[in-house]
Homo-oligomer: A and B are copies of this chain.
Amino acid sequence: MKKLLLAVAVCGICWGQAPEDCKPSSLNIPGAPYPCVHSDRSVTFRVAAPDAQKVQVRLSGSHEMTKGKDGLWMVTIPPQVVGFHYYSIAVDGAVTADPATRTFFGSGWDNSGVEIPESPLDAAYYSARDVPHGQVSQRWYYSKVTGTWRRCYVYTPPDYESNSKVRYPVLYLLHGWGENEQGWHTQGHADLIMDNLIAEKKAKPMIIVMDNLNAVKPGEDASLYAARGSIARLVVPEAAPAGGGRGAPGGARGGFPSNFGGAFTEMLLTDVIPMIERTYRVAPGRENRAMAGLSMGGMQSFTTVLANTDKFAYLGGFSGSSGGRGGFDPKTSSNGVFANADVFNKKMKLLFLGIGSVEGPGTKNFSNELTKAGIKNVYFESPGTAHEWLTWRRCLDDFAPRLFK
């Protein structure tokens, strides 16, 4: 049973025919031959829009499709970077998901997705393999801070049920802007990454809590967390006019409000962590607690942990942190938590900064500034990838083995 399959190929049923040398994306609905990926990683799309005047695929820019017989529009776009990409189609100006793929929540709505496959060897770490599997559980809880019922997903390692006396450390792991609590196990394959790391004894068995970073208190402005960009202008045009307006939150840094992340941090400490520690067999104390996130979730993790170093000993930012935009001052940044490097280094057992190599030098610069200030940190770069899920899968694969040692 040495089967190695992409985790996403859960249906196991494919009966449509794509052209030779073009393999249907593993994210397609059962039976859909398109989108398909050629061996050079170019991608062919097909959309049925019999009466349309103009149809585009929107993935790394807009690509005009050409109408063929029977109202089927097609286009082959240039070779794409390996990994998961969100995309959409535009039919006479209507931006929607392509009905040929499963959908994935990002940018505040359910996009289409396409997976450009790596070699089986490169993809092995996030593939379903013949190893013991943990599980991802949906957990409902009521947050007193937000005044709402909320949902998180919790990964428990393969031996969680059988080792009924063992207590486990916990990683709190956050998605990015416009995504939700489903991102890490659906787009990210966090569960399979951990199953494989644990099977190879590279990472300690741990619990991973995947919550939704979108949290506001009653009466607070939620617009930061709602869909923006082209879909927002389409779905909620009154909220995101072309020139900014209500959709553009005020605040100092890159459009984020000055109270960024406050409600989430309060909710995490008040509602989520106590609920998790009541419900699961959790090892106690800060040295058994880590937090990380991607993009906006990385910012949130830095905001939460650097203000609460008494509660967390491990911190990771994947394509997102508290730095990288310039203006870092070890004496004053993050309320002076970096001011005494010795104290910080003794307290925080890991400060991890991950980034895709084509995302720009900001994170590398921040790592250098931290190092110059005497702050120990780990810098990880994913070769050839951008602000996308393959970067973050690789980040988790490098980050998790460093935890709870």
A-side residues, CB < 8 A to B, are: 1, 3, 5, 7, 9-17, 29-34, 47-55, 70-72, 88-89, 91-103, 105, 108-110, 128, 130, 133, 135-142, 144, 146-151, 154, 161, 164, 180, 185, 191-192, 212, 214-216, 221-223, 225-227, 231-239, 279-280
Contact = CB atoms under 8 A, between A and B. Distances in A.
A235 B70 CA distance: 12
5 contacts: A9-B148, A31-B223, A31-B239, A49-B94, A71-B93
Most buried by B among A13, A103, A144, A227: A13
Given A92-B51, A94-B52, A148-B5, A136 B137 contact: yes
Contact of A237 (B1, B72, B136, B225): B72
B222 A91 contact: no
A3 B92 contact: no
Contacts of A1: 142, 144
Given A12-B146, A128-B149, A225-B13, A99 B31 contact: no
A70 B237 contact: yes
Interface SS, A side: loop
Q: Name the residue in A47, A52, A130, A192 with the highest tally of chain B Cβ atoms < 10 Å from its Cβ.
A: A52
Given A31-B223, A32-B235, A54 B51 contact: yes
A328 B239 CA distance: 59
Q: Which of A149, A214, A231 has the most B CB atoms < 10 Å from its CB?
A: A149
A15 B239 contact: yes
Contact of A95 (B93, B99, B222, B239): B99
Report the 4 A-B pairs with minimum CB-CB distance, sorted nearest first: A31-B226, A12-B148, A48-B234, A49-B94
A13 B280 CA distance: 28
Contact of A99 (B17, B110, B180): B110
Nearest to A95: B99
Nearest to A105: B102
A47 B94 contact: yes
Contacts of A142: 1, 3, 130
A251 to B, nearest CB: 17
A50 B105 CA distance: 24
A133 B154 CA distance: 14
A32 B227 contact: yes
Question: Which of A103, A109, A144, A212 has the largest count of B CB atoms less than 10 A from its CB?
Answer: A109
Nearest to A178: B30
A97 B70 contact: no
